[in-house]
Amino acid sequence: MNPLLQKLQPYPFERLRQLFAGVAPNPALRPISLGIGEPRHPAPPLVEQAIGQAMQGLSVYPPTAGDPQLRKACAGWLQRRYGLEIDALREVLPVNGSREALFAFAQTVIDPTRDAVVVCPNPFYQIYEGAALLAGATPWYAPSDPARNFAVDWDSVPADVWARTQLVFVCSPGNPTGAVMPLQEWRKLFELSDRHGFVIASDECYSEIYFQGEPPLGGLEAAHKLGRGFERLVAFTSLSKRSNVPGLRSGFVAGDADILKSFLLYRTYHGSAMSPIVQAASIAAWNDEAHVIDNRAQYRRKFAEVTPMLSAVLDVGLPDAGFYLWAGVEGSDEAFARDLLAQYNVTVLPGSYLARETGGFNPGRGRIRMALVADTAECLEAAGRIVQFVQSRTKSSQ
């Protein structure tokens, strides 16, 4: 067996299952889960129609590089969304969702013979860590700073770590914090990349769910604004959150053409070709913005109703973007999640499961992540139960 598998830590939801072992949820209340970030708004009918019209695709082997029409649709979206002129055939590559691509990308760009380091935010999406470990690299966790709206503290990374870094994972808007990386932070990261030669993988799958008028800045957009090209920069995006089709497993990467050429070679051997049926559905989704605007409006209404309720009893505010609330709680985040399930049959994810302890400190400790992915009524019911739970805990501790 691959000895690197032994370095992998249990996924957060496996840890949650173990935490809840032996817990009997309140049977008087129907279960509500805010634990998993799985979009539950309806999929757009245009995607379903495209799938029904593309069944002939079952009879052919698809090329790994994807249909040129899909790559043009992705490039067209980048132009409309960010004002970027992209070479669809050299700077875009379709992928089977951002998770698969993020993992495979690390296997492509990391040279494990050179004491490789991969820097990722902390807290973080656990695929970054697993991808680094199985590529033979060592993860280094850059903490998010609550005092700066959970911006990643890139200055905390020592110079000797930067010197060994081959890959940096950026998540903006962030999971779980919802923080968006501003232009000055991108400038800093680009300067570090120029100095040390590392590649930047920019995970942007939450980019289309935001709560202010200005859409989140993307990595490629930041490079363009700063007058640079896409050297050592690849952005990852997905239809899962944007279009409510997580089961479609569809996204794309865009950026440095030389890196994408190597990534395509890896994927050709990896067997990562996207089904022609999924490609047809993806073309329809990337070419339409009306359903995205409607989806964003649904989240805005939901968060506008739920956030004030929870902010009355928890340390939480409206995020920049994404569909999570990242809330501070009194005491242990694990105990909070376990007791909430037992007493009010609501599932949330302990924040410590989404981070790693470094220097004796876990930046997720004392926080919970709540995914407001269900309809507004269900999220409001969950929020009401959480308010009652916190109030009852406060009374019992007095």
Per residue in 220-242, pLDDT tens?
999 999 999 999 999 999 999 99
Query: Do residues 354 and 364 lie in contact, with contact meaning Cβ atoms separated by under 8 Å?
Result: yes
pTM over 0.85: yes
The answer to the question of residue 345 being in a domain is yes
The answer to the question of residue 3 being in a domain is no
Give the distance, in angstroms, between the CA of residue 388 and the centroid of all CA atoms in the same chain. 30
Which one of 254, 270, 288 terminates a domain?
288
CA 149/CA 1 separation, integer angstroms = 42
Same-domain pairing of 100 and 195: yes
Q: What is the CATH number of the domain that holds 237?
A: 3.40.640.10
Which one of 288, 319, 353 terminates a domain?
288
Same-domain pairing of 311 and 276: no
Categorise residue 150: left if φ over 0, alpha if ψ from -120 to 50, beta otherwise.
left
The answer to the question of residue 194 being in a domain is yes
Q: Please state the rounded mean pLDDT for residues 195-212.
A: 97
Same-domain pairing of 238 and 382: no
Span 42-56, pLDDT tens digits: 999 999 999 999 899
CA 95/CA 238 separation, integer angstroms = 9
Same-domain pairing of 300 and 249: no
Domain carrying residue 135: 59-288
Same-domain pairing of 244 and 152: yes
Same-domain pairing of 215 and 273: yes
Span 54-108, pLDDT tens digits: 899 889 899 999 999 999 999 999 999 999 999 999 999 999 999 999 999 999 9
Same-domain pairing of 205 and 101: yes
The answer to the question of residue 2 being in a domain is no
The answer to the question of residue 109 being in a domain is yes
Give the distance, in angstroms, between the CA of residue 75 and the centroid of all CA atoms in the same chain. 21
Same-domain pairing of 281 and 181: yes
Same-domain pairing of 250 and 169: yes
The answer to the question of residue 324 being in a domain is yes
Same-domain pairing of 175 and 76: yes
Q: What is the CATH number of the domain that holds 358?
A: 3.90.1150.10
Which one of 288, 321, 349 terminates a domain?
288
Same-domain pairing of 174 and 244: yes
- Rounded to the nearest 5°, which phi and psi values hold at 329? -125, 160
Round the average pLDDT of the chain to a whole number and report it: 96
Count of domains for the chain:
2
Query: Is residue 398 predicted with pLDDT exceeding 80?
Result: no
Same-domain pairing of 232 and 359: no
